[in-house]
Amino acid sequence: MIELTMEEFILWVVGVSLLSIGLYTFFASIKRRSVIRAARLQIVRCRACGHIYKDLTRERSPECPECGRSNDRGDSRRLG
């Protein structure tokens, strides 16, 4: 049988509670970031006309509904 004093028992209860809260917060923040990243990939801004639209397809370069030009997903890293 494990013998614990009242102080040790309270420390274990508080420690395990804080650890579980910390792990839950950590994994919730990771999930929130992945949801934000997925939502950000659905939003496309046309380089030609500036129209912002939501595209749910998995195409790499969806066409703009306003002007018909193809655009890359996500933030552009090109200078021009």
pLDDT the model gives residue 77? 62
Mean pLDDT, residues 7-26: 97
- Most distant CA atoms of the chain, gap in Å: 76
pLDDT in tens, 20-52: 999 999 999 999 999 998 888 888 888 888 888
Mean pLDDT, residues 48-65: 86
Distance, CA of 50 to CA of 65 (rounded, Å): 11
**Residue bearing the bigger pLDDT, 19 or 51:** 19
Question: Is the pLDDT assigned to residue 76 strictly greater than 80?
Answer: no
Give the E-state strand segments of 1-80 in sequence order. 43-45, 52-54
- pLDDT interval class at 80 (50, 70, 90): low
pLDDT the model gives residue 27? 97
